[in-house]
Amino acid sequence: MFLSAAYAQDAAAQQPNFFTSLIPFVLMAVVFYFLLIRPQQQARKKHQAMVAGVKRGDEVLTSGGILGKVVKAPEGDECTIEIAEGVQVRVVKATLTDVRGKGTAAAAPAKTKA
């Protein structure tokens, strides 16, 4: 009587396979990659391409919210932007958040009727 109960408990307490227990962790890693890592890499590549394409005359927006026109865009990691007439500021290209093209940000303001 006790012998059959002992065999029944031993069969029920069998450990799962090692590889079977790894499946949830592998699935979590795959989901983590596709939801977090891959989109971040794509956004970084897009930003690097945008920064590399900055040229003289482009209207840009910095991460600090400053709009300006690129005056000098050497091959290095800095460029000079003009934020007002006669006011030029050197900025690091990596801080540029948007390149708006030529003549879009500093267009003449619309006149209102008074």
Q: Number of folded domains in the chain? A: 2
Question: Is 9 inside any structural domain?
Answer: yes
- Higher-pLDDT residue of 15 and 86 is 86
Domain that holds residue 12: 2-48
Question: Is 114 inside any structural domain?
Answer: no
Same domain, yes or no: 61 and 39: no
Global pTM value:
0.66
Same domain, yes or no: 68 and 43: no
Q: pLDDT tens for residues 41-86?
A: 999 999 999 999 999 999 999 999 999 999 998 888 999 999 999 9
Question: Is 110 inside any structural domain?
Answer: no
Question: Is 40 inside any structural domain?
Answer: yes
DSSP secondary structure string, the chain? Answer: -HHHHHHHHHHHTPPPPHHHHHHHHHHHHHHHIIIIIHHHHHHHHHHHHHHHT--TTEEEEETTS-EEEEEE--SSSEEEEEEETTEEEEEEGGGEEEEEEESSTTPPPPPPP-
